[in-house]
Structures are given as structure tokens and as C-alpha cells.
Amino acid sequence: MGVFPCHLLRRWLLTDWSEDLKALYTALNIEKAHIVSWSLGGGVVYRFMADHPEMVLTATLVSPVSPYGFGGTKGSEGTPCYDDFAGSGGGVVNPEFIELIKAGDRGVESQNSPRNVINGFYFKPPFKADREEDFLTASLKQSTGENRYPGDFVSSENWPNVAPGAWGPINAGAPQYVTGDAQALIDIVEKPAILWVRGSDDMIVSDLSLFDFAALGQLGYVPGWPGDEIFPPQPMVSQTRSLLEKYAENGGSFKEIVMENTAHGPQVEKPVEFGATLLDFISVE
């Protein structure tokens, strides 16, 4: 997702991006379209479908963020682990990764370098994209800071001692700010068909995400983890499936496709297979 100057003066919300998308429709004189989203973009599409279902022919969600946000929730219903949503928001992003983006790092010396993160998590090793340098260059153009990426955070008494702030894209995707989006999607009267595509080896959006503090705590990488009863790893895939099943029970439809031997970017890792799957879906619908 892009960075829009209008967000510099107030809190970022997925609703803002939803309205940006509506404005793009208007500018291009589009009444209705097939929408394809990826990762955090899935959260924007949940909101856009709830706000403007009449503008959506179909929705394709590629490795989408959980409908309950990223981090800090448990169970298939997205129950907050803490009242202040600790463990989500701008404070959960590795600060070394941010510093390396600021420095324009193109190396491989640090395990947290943008290149290593892209090749190690967005794709399933040993896959390397033909446009690796282009993807890296684009990533390094990301604006960073408290009101940019990843956003700000506040201290919390709850482990891991950070809770969402009010600015930036990672806060926009935190559960604190998407409360009600899942139910709003279920409540759509005329429901567009949904295609859900995910990689079999995705370690970013998964039921044991290596970007989730709870999963890292359970694995012993972050000390002080309070245990499964209080703060279990967020079941991101299970939450998405639970929501889409409710969506189908209430008159909608969805299709889940798991692309084998791919990670968070199946559309890049297997573009021919992904393209065929997408075209088959939208041609039927």
C-alpha cells in the first residue's frame, strides 16, 4: 500500500485506504471491479467490501492479514489477549530492520536486512525473484518514522510491553482499530465471491507466525512469555477461515487455494499458477 500525505495530520485507519480506493474508482470512472489484494491490503479489502459491496465484482485475498488484525488476539473469534491490545501495532516491528531501511542497506550481513527478510520470509528459500533488485529498491523507498512505517507505540504493563500507538500503517492493521470489521463483512447483504490464496509455507501470516510476539515467545526467542492461556500465538489462518465460513453461511461464497512450496508471495513465486487460478475464478464469477 502507498503512503498518502493526508494521513500525516491524523490517525491512520484502514477506512482511509478504503476511501482512497473509492476515490480511485471515481477518478477512473469505474463502477464495479474485480479486486486483488495482498497481505495488509487484505484488511483494506475487508473494509472496502463492507463499506462499498456494490463496487466489488469479486475479491481475491492473497496471504491476507487476519480480519482481526495482526498480533494480540487469540482464538478463531479474534479475542484480544489484553484490553490494551499489547503485542500489536507499531512497536512489534524489529527496530534494526527499520534502521537498515533508513540506511538503504542492500547487503546480506544482517539477518534483519531488507534483502534477507524478503528472500527468507516473503518467498520460500531458495527461491529468488527475477526482479529481486527491483523489489529491494522499492522496499527501501518506504518512508519510516512514528507517523510513517511502522508507526508509533505506547508502553504497556502487559507482555511484551508495547501496545498500539495512533499513527502509521502497522497501527492501522492492529486489532484495536479493526474492531467490528469482521462482523461488518458478514453482514453484507449482496456478498461478492471471495478467492483466498495463501502459500503453504507462509511464516508471516500463519497460525505460528515468526512475526508474532506470542509465537516468538512460545519458541523461546523472547523472554517473559506469559504462556498459552494468556497469550497464545495468534491463529491468523484459522481466524480468516472462520470468518469466511461465516461469510458463506450467511449467503456468500469463498474458495481457499493453498499454493504448495510458496511463502508469503505466491503470486511472485508461482506467477503462472497464480494467474491461471485468478483468471479461472473471475471468469466463472
Name 165's Cβ contacts closer than 8 Å, sequence gap at least 6.
89, 90, 91, 146, 151, 152, 153, 154, 171
Please report the pLDDT score of residue 12 as a whole number: 65
Q: What is the pTM assigned to this prediction?
A: 0.94
Task: State pLDDT tens for residues 28-62.
Answer: 999 999 999 999 999 999 999 999 999 999 999 99
Does residue 267 register a pLDDT over 50? yes
10-14, 88-92, 95-99, 214-218: range with lowest mean pLDDT:
10-14
Confidence class of residue 284 from pLDDT cuts 50, 70 and 90?
Answer: confident
Grid cell at residue 191: 456478498
Q: Which CATH number fits domain 5-284: 3.40.50, 2.60.40, 1.10.3470, 3.30.43?
A: 3.40.50
pLDDT at 167 over 70: yes
Q: Is the pLDDT of residue 174 over 50?
A: yes
The answer to whether the peptide bond before residue 150 is cis (omega within 30 degrees of 0) is yes
Q: Using alpha carbons, select from 238, 236, 266 the residue that is nearest to residue 129.
A: 266
110, 96 Cβ separation under 8 angstroms: yes
What's the whole-number average pLDDT of the chain? 94
Share of the chain above pLDDT 90, in %: 93
Report how far residue 5's alpha carbon sits from residue 7's, in angstroms, rounded to the nearest whole number.
5
